[in-house]
Amino acid sequence: MKNVYESPLNARYASDEMQYIFSPNMKFTTWRKLWIALAEAEKELGLNITDEQINQLKSNVNNINYEVAEKYEKQFRHDVMSHVHAYGELCPDAKGIIHLGATSCYVGDNTDVIIMTEGLKLLRNKLLILIKKLSDFALEYKAMPTLGYTHYQPAQLVTVGKRACLWIQELLMDLEDLDHTLDNMKLLGSKGTTGTQASFLNLFDGDHEKVKKLEALIAEKMGFKKVFAVSGQTYPRKLDSRVLGVLSAIAQSAYKFGNDMRLLQSMKEMEEPFEEKQIGSSAMAYKRNPMRCERICSLARYVIIDAINPAITASTQWFERTLDDSANKRISIPEAFLATDAILNIYINVASGFVVYPKVIAKHVMEELPFMATENIMMEAVKRGGDRQELHEQIRTHSMEAGKRVKVDGEKNDLIERIANDPMFGMSLEELNSVLEPKHYIGRCAEQVEEFIENEVKKVLATADVTDIVVDLKV
């Protein structure tokens, strides 16, 4: 029996890939890669650093001696210096040049940017997979009429596929935001204690060009094109707020989808996947609860609220830096990524196994369509010589009576029969029923789906290397 707290994001929800990105191994190997990049760049710019020293650093990049680092941290109360000394024990010939000229934020902040970048890339791939699955679904059901809803009241008909396009469109907006953020991810670079690069200027004997070149070399070695032009001791904490704003936006889109699906499942029109041995309720054996979509909404609510953390942190930093960001960042940023990853995993799982009930959808359509068809009926009666205003009043009266029959008496909607029996309209029941063809009331839904997928979605998917994943939910 486990006797310590374990985050549900690790145990139940997030993928192994995202967990690795925010793991200690990823963090501390990246620190060491940054120290290697710093040493290589300093050597290239003329400092007395040897290939042997760099090779020793490289040979131990993945050999994280955690016990030694923990021993030093108890002594120093400083995580970066504890790892400098631990790395130095493994690389005795190079220990004198590890972290040369740098401050703690050189490894800490640059690593944070690298890790967030990798997290965004993983989420981007999952967004694209999700968009592809929803697009396939939208095309399959592009012309299936279904009730539209405004204010959660029956409105004009749409199609099942058109509604899916609303979900896709929001994800495309999220993808745009994510891509913009990815394109503008910048390393802190090598700025020094207050962002002045004074220590590096001393190292290079006042050579400003070498100091500038150092940053460019480090960025290139770490796979980045840009560094922040100016900074305090840290990169601007506004970057964290921007990144979590993207995650919050993804969560908002997923929440909207999850709510829609929960309502559709309540109406028995669509369902999320339900496994053969799955239990919906411990007491009510017949239940098929929308537990996946409920989980999407639950986690999305967490991410949306969590995005407030870096916003507050960014707005309360003092001058060149304070340390009240650190403990908050260690929790809020990884958990936002893990939760968003879990949301997309579940969303992909649901989109991979939608269950649609066409007969239930058609039944609901036909219960409401007589009300929606009244304008067409009225126009036809006018063509046959009726008075538009008198017909309008008569339809209003019949509609109120038919509505009362449905709502108060629980009976079938008999509006069409009432109109057929009213000589003012002069139309037979057969003629009226010919008006009640749902496909005549969906406007350009099918064409909109086709055009949207062709013009908006395909161009995004065509430029992407979408690697599909099979989402095996942990629980």
Residue 335 contacts residue 7 (beta carbons within 8 Å): yes
CA atoms within 13 A on the CB side of 448: 16
In contact, 267 and 351? CB cutoff 8 Å: no
The values of phi and psi at residue 387, to 5°, are -90, 125
CA 443 to chain centre: 31
Q: What angle do CA 6, 10, 13 make, to 5 degrees?
A: 125
445 and 143 in contact (C-beta within 8 Å)? Answer: yes
How is residue 142 annotated by DSSP? T
Q: Which of 59, 281, 298, 326 is catalytic?
A: 281
User: Which of helix, strand or coil describes residue 94?
Assistant: coil
Active site residue 440: no
Tell me if residue 151 is catalytic. Answer: yes
Compute CA distances 278 → 187, 274, 281, 285, whole Å.
Answer: 47, 6, 9, 10
Dihedral in degrees, nearest 10, Cα atoms 90, 91, 95, 99: -90
Please give the positions annotated as active site: 151, 281
